[in-house]
């Protein structure tokens, strides 16, 4: 009989068994008891923890979400781009299935599976609205927060809600693991710990090792499940990839140009003309000008200025005419006396002023979100930089399909909610979840749209 070779794990359990000349490879499955410490250890960034109290600040002044939201809310392109991204991630609807194999073309063969328990969970809250809320935060911050509610015995996940990302702050990690988070709508007011809701955190990567811990803890029945893109630098709060366009100033440029243009329109007369008023005008208008006090003169000059400004400035007065009167000398050369002079100032800020800069800034914002500017119609303001000849229907359609195909990783992260629920509630391990999309097609396919699974 050949000797059996047994390779053991550090905890003494057999990990792999082989036999010389044998045809079998035997490995151990299952958790083998509690997870090894070596499977779940890490350290957290001391820099990110600077200023920590009972929570870790999000940003230097713990106001990063507000800083971002305040800027995005002023950005036409930024807000629309993030809205577009959220909708692309959401797709049409989620779909539970089992994989049956592959067809001759290498495409998966999927069979829809109706999971009554999962359907009931979704019906206890408006889960589609929950998905929208989480996805919207994820598009904005690369982080969303699902709120998992358990039944009274902790036997099953009962329903799913969410917390707005801007209201969440993590507690400092303990031995590399973030165990709690705090919820408050008033972080700007420096709330006390007692004024915040404290929720235990489900580890989105290692939740399988928490299942029994969660079941036996009868103190908490509501948990927070962070859904975040793994950040290459940050351990607590992810930084969205698109944020580079905010941080490097492009979003600020895009936001400032409309304000400048608005001010330009509202004050266009004062910027375009120099009006010279002859001194004799005042003596003619006010025969007792010399006897008037300085205050009286200033009052009349101010009134004259206000009347002139009111009648000539503003968009509603564009193209108006102005009529003035003057007299000529009667002796010698025919020379004008006391005429008003209106000199056109060389306008360095024509109607198209800064439009190329605005278009470039808008394009950079869209690039940071992996959105082809041509998909938004951008291309008429400053030529090829914003799409130019790349605005054809087929290019836009292919770009849209490419964008949708890139959403798979984001959807996998957000579908952690289902993966956790499947494991905790004991769904069939073979059941998976995917997203159905509606894809634009060309007329030669015989249909304007087609349903696709990611």
**Using the 8-state DSSP alphabet, how is residue 32 labeled?**
-
- Contact between 181 and 162 under an 8 Å Cβ cutoff? The reply is no
- Name the band, by pLDDT with cuts 50, 70 and 90, for residue 336: low
Q: Give me 120's structure tokens.
A: 């009931």
> Taking 50 as the threshold, does the pLDDT of residue 74 lie above it?
yes
The secondary structure of the chain in percent helix, strand, coil, rounded to multiples of 5, reads: 40, 20, 40
What pLDDT, in 10s, does the model give residues 425-434? Answer: 999 999 999 9
Helices (H), 142-210: none
> Taking 90 as the threshold, does the pLDDT of residue 199 lie above it?
yes
168: helix, strand or coil = strand
**Using the 8-state DSSP alphabet, how is residue 201 labeled?**
B
Give the span between the Cα atoms of 148 and 445, in whole angstroms: 43
What pLDDT, in 10s, does the model give residues 208-225? Answer: 999 999 999 999 999 999
Helices (H), 231-389: 244-247, 250-266, 268-272, 280-285, 294-312, 355-368
Contacts of 121 (CB under 8 A, 6+ apart): 127, 157, 158, 159, 160, 421
Helices (H), 110-193: 116-124, 127-141
Across residues 159-166, what is the average pLDDT?
98
- Contact between 58 and 237 under an 8 Å Cβ cutoff? The reply is yes
Backbone dihedral angles phi then psi of residue 424, each to the nearest 5 degrees: -70, -40
Q: Give me 107's structure tokens.
A: 């495409």
What pLDDT, in 10s, does the model give residues 26-57? Answer: 544 444 455 544 455 567 778 888 999 999 99
Q: Which of these ranges, 91-95, 179-183, 325-329, 405-409, has the smallest mean pLDDT?
A: 325-329
């Amino acid at each position: 009989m050949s000797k059996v070779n047994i390779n053991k794990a550090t905890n003494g359990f057999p990990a792999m068994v082989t036999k010389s000349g044998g045809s079998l490879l035997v490995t151990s499955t299952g958790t083998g008891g509690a997870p090894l410490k070596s499977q779940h250890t890490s350290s957290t960034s001391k820099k990110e923890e600077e200023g920590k109290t009972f929570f870790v600040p999000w940003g230097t002044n713990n106001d990063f979400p507000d800083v971002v939201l305040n800027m995005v809310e002023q950005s036409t392109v930024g807000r629309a781009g993030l809205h577009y991204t959220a909708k692309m991630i959401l797709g049409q609807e989620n779909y539970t299935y089992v994989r049956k194999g592959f067809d001759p073309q290498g495409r998966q063969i999927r069979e829809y599976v109706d999971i009554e328990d999962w359907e009931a969970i979704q019906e206890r809250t408006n889960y589609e609205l929950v998905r929208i809320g989480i996805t919207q935060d994820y598009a904005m911050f690369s982080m969303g927060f699902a709120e998992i509610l358990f039944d009274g015995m902790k036997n099953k996940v009962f329903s799913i809600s969410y917390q707005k990302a801007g209201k969440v702050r993590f507690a400092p990690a303990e031995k590399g693991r973030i165990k709690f988070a705090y919820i408050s709508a008033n972080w700007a007011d420096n709330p006390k710990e007692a004024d915040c809701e404290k929720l235990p955190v489900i580890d989105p990567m290692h939740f399988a090792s928490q299942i029994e811990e969660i079941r036996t803890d009868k103190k908490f029945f509501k948990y927070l499940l962070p859904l975040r893109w793994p950040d290459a630098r940050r351990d607590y709060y992810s930084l969205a990839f698109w944020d580079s366009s905010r941080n490097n100033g492009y979003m600020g440029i895009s936001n400032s140009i409309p304000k400048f243009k608005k001010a330009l329109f509202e004050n266009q007369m004062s910027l375009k003309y120099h009006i010279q008023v002859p001194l004799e005008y005042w003596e003619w208008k006010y025969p007792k000008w010399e006897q008037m006090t300085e205050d009286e003169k200033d009052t009349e000059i101010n009134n004259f200025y206000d009347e002139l400004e009111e009648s000539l400035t503003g968009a509603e007065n564009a193209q108006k005419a102005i009529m003035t009167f003057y007299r000529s000398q009667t002796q010698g050369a025919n020379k004008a006396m006391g005429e008003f002079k209106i000199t056109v100032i060389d306008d360095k800020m024509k109607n198209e002023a800064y439009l190329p800069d605005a278009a470039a800034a808008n394009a950079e914002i869209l690039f940071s979100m992996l959105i082809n500017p041509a998909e938004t119609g951008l291309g008429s303001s400053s030529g090829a930089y914003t799409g130019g000849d790349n605005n054809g229907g087929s290019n836009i359609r292919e770009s849209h399909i490419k964008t949708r195909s890139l959403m798979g990783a984001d959807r996998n992260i957000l579908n952690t909610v289902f993966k956790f629920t499947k494991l905790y509630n004991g769904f069939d391990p073979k059941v998976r979840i995917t997203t159905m999309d509606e894809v634009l097609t060309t007329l030669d396919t015989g249909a304007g749209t087609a349903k696709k699974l990611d």
